[in-house]
Amino acid sequence: MGTPPQLMDMVLDTGSQLSWIQCHGTVNGKSVKPRFKWFNPSLSSTFSFLPCNSSLCKPRIPDFTLPTSCDPRRHCHYSYFYADGTLAEGNLVTEKFSFTASPIAIGCVKPSAENRGILGMNTGHLSFISQAKISKFSYCVPGRSRSDLTGLFYLGDNPNSGKFKYVNMLTFPESQNSPNLDKLAYTLPMKGIRIGAVQLKISPAVFKPDPTGSGQTMIDSGSELTYLVDEAYNNVRAEIVRLVGPMMKKGYEYASVADMCFDGAMAAAAGRRIGEMWFQFENGVEILVGKGEGLLTVVEKGVKCVGIGRSGRLGTESNMIGNVHQQNMWVEYDLANKRVGFGGAVCSGLKA
Protein backbone atom coordinates (compact mmCIF):
# COMPACT_ATOMS: atom_id res chain seq x y z
CA MET A 1 0.00 0.00 0.00
CA GLY A 2 1.08 3.55 -0.67
CA THR A 3 3.67 5.15 -2.95
CA PRO A 4 6.30 3.81 -2.56
CA PRO A 5 4.60 0.63 -1.33
CA GLN A 6 4.58 -0.43 2.32
CA LEU A 7 3.93 -4.11 3.06
CA MET A 8 0.91 -4.55 5.35
CA ASP A 9 -0.70 -7.42 7.30
CA MET A 10 -4.45 -7.54 6.65
CA VAL A 11 -7.18 -10.09 7.37
CA LEU A 12 -9.06 -11.13 4.23
CA ASP A 13 -12.60 -10.68 5.54
CA THR A 14 -15.65 -11.52 3.41
CA GLY A 15 -17.85 -10.51 6.36
CA SER A 16 -16.67 -6.87 6.46
CA GLN A 17 -17.19 -3.87 4.24
CA LEU A 18 -14.70 -1.08 4.97
CA SER A 19 -11.01 -1.95 4.78
CA TRP A 20 -8.73 -0.44 7.38
CA ILE A 21 -5.11 -0.32 8.43
CA GLN A 22 -3.32 0.75 11.58
CA CYS A 23 -1.64 4.07 11.00
CA HIS A 24 1.63 5.15 12.57
CA GLY A 25 1.26 7.17 15.76
CA THR A 26 0.78 6.96 19.50
CA VAL A 27 -1.96 5.85 21.89
CA ASN A 28 -2.72 8.27 24.75
CA GLY A 29 0.53 10.03 24.04
CA LYS A 30 2.60 6.89 24.39
CA SER A 31 4.31 4.86 21.71
CA VAL A 32 2.80 1.40 21.33
CA LYS A 33 4.80 -1.60 20.15
CA PRO A 34 2.49 -3.31 17.66
CA ARG A 35 2.29 -7.03 16.96
CA PHE A 36 1.75 -6.17 13.31
CA LYS A 37 3.01 -3.53 10.92
CA TRP A 38 1.81 0.05 11.02
CA PHE A 39 1.29 2.14 7.92
CA ASN A 40 3.21 5.42 7.91
CA PRO A 41 1.18 8.00 5.92
CA SER A 42 4.03 10.52 5.90
CA LEU A 43 6.05 8.21 3.64
CA SER A 44 3.36 7.93 0.93
CA SER A 45 2.77 10.46 -1.84
CA THR A 46 -0.68 9.01 -2.64
CA PHE A 47 -2.13 9.15 0.91
CA SER A 48 -4.96 11.63 1.47
CA PHE A 49 -7.39 12.37 4.31
CA LEU A 50 -11.08 12.59 3.37
CA PRO A 51 -12.52 15.98 4.40
CA CYS A 52 -15.76 16.24 6.32
CA ASN A 53 -17.62 17.55 3.28
CA SER A 54 -16.82 14.43 1.27
CA SER A 55 -19.87 12.45 0.13
CA LEU A 56 -18.36 9.36 1.77
CA CYS A 57 -18.45 11.16 5.11
CA LYS A 58 -22.25 11.16 5.00
CA PRO A 59 -22.75 7.41 4.85
CA ARG A 60 -25.92 5.53 5.43
CA ILE A 61 -26.52 2.44 7.52
CA PRO A 62 -25.14 -0.27 7.22
CA ASP A 63 -21.85 1.44 6.32
CA PHE A 64 -21.02 2.39 9.92
CA THR A 65 -22.45 1.44 13.29
CA LEU A 66 -22.03 5.00 14.61
CA PRO A 67 -22.47 8.30 12.74
CA THR A 68 -19.36 9.80 11.18
CA SER A 69 -18.07 13.06 12.63
CA CYS A 70 -15.50 15.81 12.10
CA ASP A 71 -12.23 15.79 13.98
CA PRO A 72 -10.48 19.08 14.95
CA ARG A 73 -8.53 19.03 11.66
CA ARG A 74 -11.79 18.83 9.66
CA HIS A 75 -10.98 15.25 8.66
CA CYS A 76 -13.72 12.64 8.50
CA HIS A 77 -13.78 10.43 11.62
CA TYR A 78 -15.60 7.09 11.82
CA SER A 79 -16.23 4.32 14.37
CA TYR A 80 -17.24 0.74 13.70
CA PHE A 81 -18.28 -1.93 16.18
CA TYR A 82 -17.91 -5.56 15.10
CA ALA A 83 -20.15 -8.44 16.19
CA ASP A 84 -17.51 -9.71 18.64
CA GLY A 85 -17.50 -6.34 20.44
CA THR A 86 -14.22 -4.99 19.07
CA LEU A 87 -14.04 -1.38 17.90
CA ALA A 88 -12.14 0.17 14.99
CA GLU A 89 -12.09 3.96 14.86
CA GLY A 90 -10.03 6.52 13.05
CA ASN A 91 -10.09 8.65 9.91
CA LEU A 92 -11.44 7.89 6.47
CA VAL A 93 -8.62 8.28 3.94
CA THR A 94 -7.78 7.31 0.39
CA GLU A 95 -4.73 5.29 -0.56
CA LYS A 96 -3.47 3.23 -3.45
CA PHE A 97 -2.90 -0.52 -3.38
CA SER A 98 -0.25 -2.01 -5.63
CA PHE A 99 -2.98 -3.91 -7.48
CA THR A 100 -5.55 -1.10 -7.86
CA ALA A 101 -5.54 1.45 -10.66
CA SER A 102 -6.51 4.35 -8.41
CA PRO A 103 -6.76 5.10 -4.67
CA ILE A 104 -9.67 3.67 -2.69
CA ALA A 105 -11.32 4.77 0.56
CA ILE A 106 -10.18 2.93 3.68
CA GLY A 107 -9.98 3.49 7.40
CA CYS A 108 -6.78 4.74 8.99
CA VAL A 109 -7.33 3.62 12.58
CA LYS A 110 -5.68 4.47 15.85
CA PRO A 111 -2.85 2.06 16.61
CA SER A 112 -3.38 -0.79 19.03
CA ALA A 113 -1.13 -3.63 20.07
CA GLU A 114 -3.60 -6.30 19.01
CA ASN A 115 -5.14 -6.12 15.58
CA ARG A 116 -4.05 -6.56 12.00
CA GLY A 117 -5.81 -4.49 9.39
CA ILE A 118 -8.92 -5.67 7.57
CA LEU A 119 -9.37 -6.13 3.81
CA GLY A 120 -13.15 -5.76 3.56
CA MET A 121 -14.52 -8.06 0.85
CA ASN A 122 -18.32 -8.12 1.23
CA THR A 123 -20.76 -6.70 -1.33
CA GLY A 124 -21.11 -3.23 0.22
CA HIS A 125 -20.25 -0.19 -1.89
CA LEU A 126 -17.29 0.72 0.36
CA SER A 127 -15.73 -2.77 0.28
CA PHE A 128 -12.38 -3.27 -1.41
CA ILE A 129 -13.81 -5.32 -4.28
CA SER A 130 -16.64 -2.84 -4.95
CA GLN A 131 -14.32 0.17 -5.07
CA ALA A 132 -11.68 -1.70 -7.10
CA LYS A 133 -14.40 -3.08 -9.44
CA ILE A 134 -13.31 -6.69 -8.93
CA SER A 135 -16.08 -9.15 -9.82
CA LYS A 136 -14.34 -12.41 -8.91
CA PHE A 137 -11.83 -13.54 -6.29
CA SER A 138 -10.80 -16.78 -4.62
CA TYR A 139 -8.58 -18.09 -1.86
CA CYS A 140 -7.15 -21.35 -0.55
CA VAL A 141 -6.69 -21.54 3.23
CA PRO A 142 -4.03 -24.03 4.37
CA GLY A 143 -4.69 -26.56 7.12
CA ARG A 144 -3.32 -25.49 10.48
CA SER A 145 -1.58 -28.82 11.08
CA ARG A 146 1.04 -28.20 8.40
CA SER A 147 4.29 -26.34 8.88
CA ASP A 148 3.77 -24.25 5.73
CA LEU A 149 0.83 -21.95 6.46
CA THR A 150 1.05 -19.97 3.21
CA GLY A 151 -2.13 -20.06 1.14
CA LEU A 152 -3.01 -18.42 -2.18
CA PHE A 153 -5.33 -15.56 -3.15
CA TYR A 154 -6.54 -14.72 -6.67
CA LEU A 155 -8.15 -11.49 -7.83
CA GLY A 156 -9.99 -12.39 -11.04
CA ASP A 157 -10.08 -15.77 -12.75
CA ASN A 158 -8.73 -18.87 -11.03
CA PRO A 159 -7.08 -21.42 -13.37
CA ASN A 160 -8.49 -24.27 -11.23
CA SER A 161 -12.14 -23.21 -11.51
CA GLY A 162 -13.07 -25.87 -14.07
CA LYS A 163 -13.20 -28.39 -11.21
CA PHE A 164 -15.21 -26.26 -8.78
CA LYS A 165 -18.72 -27.09 -7.55
CA TYR A 166 -20.90 -23.97 -7.58
CA VAL A 167 -23.70 -22.88 -5.28
CA ASN A 168 -25.95 -19.96 -6.20
CA MET A 169 -25.95 -17.17 -3.63
CA LEU A 170 -29.17 -15.87 -2.13
CA THR A 171 -29.68 -12.17 -2.78
CA PHE A 172 -32.12 -9.71 -1.27
CA PRO A 173 -33.70 -6.49 -2.57
CA GLU A 174 -32.55 -3.27 -0.91
CA SER A 175 -36.18 -2.59 -0.06
CA GLN A 176 -36.36 -5.72 2.13
CA ASN A 177 -36.64 -4.62 5.74
CA SER A 178 -35.53 -7.55 7.90
CA PRO A 179 -33.85 -6.46 11.15
CA ASN A 180 -31.64 -9.55 11.50
CA LEU A 181 -30.60 -9.82 7.85
CA ASP A 182 -27.14 -8.86 6.60
CA LYS A 183 -27.87 -8.01 2.97
CA LEU A 184 -24.18 -7.34 2.23
CA ALA A 185 -23.05 -10.84 3.26
CA TYR A 186 -22.49 -13.83 1.00
CA THR A 187 -25.57 -15.92 1.80
CA LEU A 188 -25.67 -19.59 0.81
CA PRO A 189 -28.64 -21.97 0.40
CA MET A 190 -27.46 -24.53 2.96
CA LYS A 191 -29.68 -27.59 3.42
CA GLY A 192 -28.08 -29.89 5.96
CA ILE A 193 -25.06 -31.48 7.65
CA ARG A 194 -23.74 -35.02 7.39
CA ILE A 195 -21.22 -36.62 9.76
CA GLY A 196 -19.80 -39.81 8.28
CA ALA A 197 -22.74 -41.76 6.92
CA VAL A 198 -25.23 -40.16 9.34
CA GLN A 199 -27.52 -37.50 7.94
CA LEU A 200 -28.37 -35.20 10.85
CA LYS A 201 -32.06 -34.57 11.39
CA ILE A 202 -31.97 -30.80 11.02
CA SER A 203 -34.82 -28.98 9.34
CA PRO A 204 -33.54 -27.16 6.22
CA ALA A 205 -35.59 -24.17 7.39
CA VAL A 206 -33.06 -23.35 10.13
CA PHE A 207 -30.45 -22.53 7.45
CA LYS A 208 -32.73 -20.15 5.53
CA PRO A 209 -33.58 -16.57 6.57
CA ASP A 210 -37.09 -16.14 7.92
CA PRO A 211 -39.01 -12.84 7.47
CA THR A 212 -36.90 -11.23 10.23
CA GLY A 213 -33.63 -12.44 8.67
CA SER A 214 -32.92 -15.01 11.39
CA GLY A 215 -31.49 -18.26 10.05
CA GLN A 216 -29.38 -16.64 7.32
CA THR A 217 -26.34 -18.79 6.43
CA MET A 218 -23.27 -16.72 5.54
CA ILE A 219 -19.74 -17.69 4.52
CA ASP A 220 -17.22 -15.51 6.37
CA SER A 221 -13.47 -15.78 5.91
CA GLY A 222 -12.87 -13.36 8.80
CA SER A 223 -14.46 -15.61 11.43
CA GLU A 224 -12.36 -18.50 12.64
CA LEU A 225 -15.17 -20.65 14.03
CA THR A 226 -18.38 -21.73 12.33
CA TYR A 227 -21.52 -20.69 14.22
CA LEU A 228 -24.87 -22.47 14.07
CA VAL A 229 -28.31 -21.68 15.47
CA ASP A 230 -29.34 -23.84 18.41
CA GLU A 231 -31.33 -26.49 16.52
CA ALA A 232 -28.42 -27.20 14.19
CA TYR A 233 -25.78 -26.98 16.93
CA ASN A 234 -27.69 -29.33 19.23
CA ASN A 235 -28.01 -31.94 16.48
CA VAL A 236 -24.30 -31.76 15.67
CA ARG A 237 -23.46 -32.01 19.35
CA ALA A 238 -25.75 -35.00 19.90
CA GLU A 239 -23.97 -36.93 17.12
CA ILE A 240 -20.53 -35.96 18.47
CA VAL A 241 -21.58 -37.13 21.95
CA ARG A 242 -22.84 -40.40 20.47
CA LEU A 243 -19.52 -40.97 18.74
CA VAL A 244 -16.99 -39.71 21.28
CA GLY A 245 -18.93 -38.60 24.37
CA PRO A 246 -16.66 -40.32 26.94
CA MET A 247 -13.62 -38.65 25.38
CA MET A 248 -14.96 -35.08 25.67
CA LYS A 249 -13.55 -32.61 28.18
CA LYS A 250 -16.17 -32.56 30.94
CA GLY A 251 -17.61 -29.23 32.03
CA TYR A 252 -15.48 -27.26 29.57
CA GLU A 253 -16.78 -24.49 27.33
CA TYR A 254 -14.63 -22.28 25.12
CA ALA A 255 -15.54 -18.56 25.13
CA SER A 256 -19.09 -19.47 26.22
CA VAL A 257 -19.88 -20.65 22.67
CA ALA A 258 -18.28 -24.07 22.06
CA ASP A 259 -18.43 -27.17 24.25
CA MET A 260 -17.44 -30.06 21.95
CA CYS A 261 -13.86 -30.09 23.20
CA PHE A 262 -11.04 -32.50 24.00
CA ASP A 263 -7.76 -32.54 25.85
CA GLY A 264 -4.86 -32.63 23.43
CA ALA A 265 -4.01 -36.24 24.18
CA MET A 266 -7.54 -37.32 23.16
CA ALA A 267 -7.87 -35.15 20.06
CA ALA A 268 -6.36 -37.43 17.42
CA ALA A 269 -8.36 -40.47 18.51
CA ALA A 270 -11.56 -38.41 18.80
CA GLY A 271 -11.06 -37.00 15.32
CA ARG A 272 -10.64 -40.48 13.84
CA ARG A 273 -13.88 -41.67 15.45
CA ILE A 274 -15.83 -38.62 14.25
CA GLY A 275 -14.58 -39.10 10.69
CA GLU A 276 -15.79 -36.71 8.01
CA MET A 277 -18.15 -33.72 8.18
CA TRP A 278 -20.01 -32.49 5.13
CA PHE A 279 -22.05 -29.31 4.59
CA GLN A 280 -24.89 -29.74 2.10
CA PHE A 281 -26.34 -27.12 -0.24
CA GLU A 282 -28.93 -26.81 -3.01
CA ASN A 283 -28.66 -28.87 -6.18
CA GLY A 284 -27.06 -31.80 -4.34
CA VAL A 285 -23.75 -30.02 -3.69
CA GLU A 286 -21.87 -31.45 -0.70
CA ILE A 287 -18.65 -29.92 0.60
CA LEU A 288 -16.21 -31.85 2.79
CA VAL A 289 -15.38 -29.33 5.51
CA GLY A 290 -13.07 -31.50 7.59
CA LYS A 291 -12.09 -34.99 8.56
CA GLY A 292 -10.32 -36.62 11.47
CA GLU A 293 -8.28 -34.33 13.67
CA GLY A 294 -8.64 -31.67 10.97
CA LEU A 295 -12.18 -31.10 12.30
CA LEU A 296 -10.69 -29.82 15.54
CA THR A 297 -9.10 -26.45 16.18
CA VAL A 298 -6.77 -25.40 18.99
CA VAL A 299 -8.56 -22.98 21.32
CA GLU A 300 -5.96 -22.86 24.08
CA LYS A 301 -2.85 -24.75 25.05
CA GLY A 302 -3.66 -28.44 25.30
CA VAL A 303 -7.32 -28.10 24.26
CA LYS A 304 -8.94 -28.68 20.86
CA CYS A 305 -12.61 -28.23 19.98
CA VAL A 306 -14.84 -29.08 17.05
CA GLY A 307 -14.73 -25.65 15.39
CA ILE A 308 -18.44 -24.88 15.83
CA GLY A 309 -20.05 -22.48 18.29
CA ARG A 310 -23.59 -21.43 19.19
CA SER A 311 -24.48 -18.25 17.29
CA GLY A 312 -27.08 -17.32 19.89
CA ARG A 313 -24.29 -16.75 22.38
CA LEU A 314 -23.02 -13.97 20.08
CA GLY A 315 -26.44 -12.32 20.17
CA THR A 316 -27.32 -13.36 16.63
CA GLU A 317 -29.65 -15.99 15.18
CA SER A 318 -27.67 -16.61 12.01
CA ASN A 319 -25.42 -19.38 10.74
CA MET A 320 -21.87 -18.51 9.77
CA ILE A 321 -19.35 -20.75 7.99
CA GLY A 322 -15.97 -19.71 9.37
CA ASN A 323 -12.50 -20.31 7.99
CA VAL A 324 -11.93 -23.41 10.14
CA HIS A 325 -14.34 -25.10 7.73
CA GLN A 326 -12.76 -23.54 4.64
CA GLN A 327 -9.34 -25.17 5.00
CA ASN A 328 -7.73 -27.08 2.14
CA MET A 329 -10.27 -25.99 -0.43
CA TRP A 330 -10.61 -23.29 -3.01
CA VAL A 331 -13.44 -20.86 -2.27
CA GLU A 332 -14.35 -18.65 -5.22
CA TYR A 333 -16.72 -15.67 -5.05
CA ASP A 334 -18.15 -15.01 -8.50
CA LEU A 335 -20.15 -11.82 -8.12
CA ALA A 336 -21.07 -11.46 -11.79
CA ASN A 337 -22.85 -14.83 -11.74
CA LYS A 338 -23.95 -14.57 -8.09
CA ARG A 339 -22.41 -17.86 -7.03
CA VAL A 340 -19.74 -19.35 -4.76
CA GLY A 341 -17.50 -22.17 -5.96
CA PHE A 342 -15.71 -24.85 -3.93
CA GLY A 343 -12.84 -27.11 -4.95
CA GLY A 344 -10.74 -29.50 -2.88
CA ALA A 345 -7.01 -28.70 -2.67
CA VAL A 346 -3.91 -29.01 -0.53
CA CYS A 347 -3.41 -25.30 0.01
CA SER A 348 0.03 -25.22 1.66
CA GLY A 349 2.74 -24.22 -0.75
CA LEU A 350 0.52 -23.69 -3.79
CA LYS A 351 2.09 -21.64 -6.56
CA ALA A 352 0.25 -19.06 -8.65
**Domains of the chain as residue ranges with CATH:** 10-134 (2.40.70.10), 140-145+153-344 (2.40.70.10)
Looking at residue 110, what is its pLDDT? 79
Beta carbons of 23 and 109 less than 8 angstroms apart: yes
Looking at residue 242, what is its pLDDT? 98
Beta carbons of 24 and 38 less than 8 angstroms apart: yes
Give the containing element (helix H, strand E) for 268.
helix 264-274
Residue 331 phi/psi, 5-degree rounding, is -125, 115
Residues marked active site are found at 13, 220
Beta carbons of 203 and 193 less than 8 angstroms apart: no
pLDDT tens-digit map of 118-136: 999 999 999 999 999 999 9
Looking at residue 305, what is its pLDDT? 97
Looking at residue 350, what is its pLDDT? 85
> Which residues of the chain are modeled with pLDDT < 70?
25-36, 59-62, 83-85, 112-115, 146
Are β-strands 10-13 and 104-109 bridged in parallel, bridged antiparallel, or unpaired? unpaired
Residue 36 phi/psi, 5-degree rounding, is -125, 170
Q: Check: pTM over 0.85? Answer yes or no.
A: yes
Phi-psi region of 74 (alpha: psi -120 to 50; beta: other; left: phi over 0): left
Sign of the alpha-carbon torsion through 186, 188, 192, 197: negative
Beta carbons of 318 and 178 less than 8 angstroms apart: no
